[in-house]
Amino acid sequence: MDNTLRLQYLEAMGIDVWLPRTLNTIAPDAGQPHAEAIAVDDNWETLQAEVANCTRCALCTTRTQTVFGSGYHQADWLVIGEAPGQNEDEQGLPFVGNAGLLLTEMLRAIGLSREQVYITNILKCRPPNNRDPHADEVANCNAYLQRQQQLIKPKIILAVGRIAAQTLLNTDAPLGKLRGKVHAFNNTPVVVVYHPAYLLRSLPEKRKAWQDLLFALQTIKIKGKIDERIDGQN
Ligand code: SF4
């Protein structure tokens, strides 16, 4: 039974599931050229080496190093942010610095350590001065994220912040309208949460962030029950 049907079960159980028009690409309207086939023998070593040497977009000329991602390769939770910032670019790791510390605390609040999840970004290289990603950069980097998702096979994706959410879900809807719903990316449930860098600037929003995390927790628990039931029928 495929994940599309599992998402329909989620909806049937009262979880509001929003399916994008196109499930298998990021921002196809942005001239996305990399809907390339993923090799069945793809592996982490090959993928990480490709990213480390990537020159597909102009960000390769300004990065200190690529930021591939970190965490558990068979994680149930895939955490996706926008792009590396200065600290990440310097250290080669995603979500470090104060925002990274807050993300770690947010995960801990729902019983997860960073070692139990996989954390990456839509872009693997830092845009200069932390500007928003350009469409061509997202399009060129898209295949790497999709291959990471294929290797991990997460049960849920946390889209961290507006840019990550809008890019993954191919929408320009504001983050406030994307919260509190289950979306889908390649048939994996997606829950949108505020970016910790934003929360550091907007302390009153922390309560909403907690609600988002609880919603994500509820979603993966319900999905787990659905999976058990479906697997028991097979
Ligand atoms: S951002 Fe992505 S596509 Fe662009 S150079 Fe870095 S790894 Fe390659």
Q: Is the CB of 26 under 6 A from ligand 1?
A: no
> What pLDDT is attached to residue 31?
37
- 90 CA to centre of ligand 1 in angstroms: 16
On the CB side of 141, CA atoms within 13 Å amount to 30
Question: How far apart, in Å, are the Cα atoms of 182 and each of 98, 128, 208, 222?
Answer: 28, 32, 16, 12
Higher pLDDT: 221 or 74? It is 74
Instruction: Give the domain extent around 53.
Output: 3-32+41-233
Q: Is the CB of 162 under 6 A from ligand 1?
A: no
Report d(CA 171, CA 158) in Å as an integer: 16
Question: How far apart, in Å, are the Cα atoms of 82 and each of 137, 154, 168, 195?
Answer: 12, 18, 10, 9
Q: Is the CB of 54 under 6 A from ligand 1?
A: yes
Q: Is the CB of 121 under 6 A from ligand 1?
A: no
Q: What is the mean pLDDT of residues 194-220?
A: 91
pLDDT above 50 (res 25): no
Q: Is the dihedral of CA 82, 88, 94, 98 positive or negative?
A: negative
Instruction: Find tokens 């028009």 and name the residue.
Output: 21
The model carries a pTM of 0.86
pLDDT above 80 (res 15): no
Task: Report the nearest-CA residue for atom 3 of ligand 1.
Answer: 141
Mutate to test the pocket of ligand 1, among 56, 122, 144, 167 (most ligand atoms within 8 A of CB): 56
Instruction: Find tokens 């609880």 and name the residue.
Output: 214
pLDDT above 80 (res 8): no
Q: Which two tokens stand for residue 89?
A: 């670019």
Q: Which atom of ligand 1 is nearest to the CA of 55?
A: 5
Torsions phi, psi for 223 (to 5 deg): -60, -40
Q: Which atom of ligand 1 is nearest to the CA of 54?
A: 8
Q: Which two tokens stand for residue 142?
A: 């898209």
| Per-residue pLDDT reduced to its tens digit, 78-113 | 999 999 999 999 999 999 999 999 999 999 999 999
What is the CATH number for 225? 3.40.470.10
> What pLDDT is attached to residue 170?
92
> What pLDDT is attached to residue 176?
92
Q: What is the mean pLDDT of residues 41-68?
A: 96
Q: What is the mean pLDDT of residues 172-193?
A: 93
pLDDT above 60 (res 206): yes
Instruction: Find tokens 């809907």 and name the residue.
Output: 35
Share of the chain above pLDDT 90, in %: 71
How wide is the angle at C-alpha 170 spanned by C-alphas 168 and 176, nearest 5°?
Answer: 80
- Alpha helices per DSSP H over 66-134: 86-91, 97-109
Q: Which two tokens stand for residue 217?
A: 């927790």
Residue type present at position 135? A
> What pLDDT is attached to residue 222?
82
Residue type present at position 142? N
Q: Is the CB of 123 under 6 A from ligand 1?
A: yes
- 56 CA to centre of ligand 1 in angstroms: 6
Counting the structural domains of the chain, the total is 1
- pLDDT interval class at 10 (50, 70, 90): low
| Per-residue pLDDT reduced to its tens digit, 124-172 | 999 999 999 999 999 999 999 999 999 999 999 999 999 999 999 999 9
Q: Is the dihedral of CA 138, 141, 146, 151 positive or negative?
A: negative
> What pLDDT is attached to residue 76?
96
> What pLDDT is attached to residue 90?
97
Q: Is the CB of 142 under 6 A from ligand 1?
A: no
- 83 CA to centre of ligand 1 in angstroms: 10
pLDDT above 80 (res 11): no
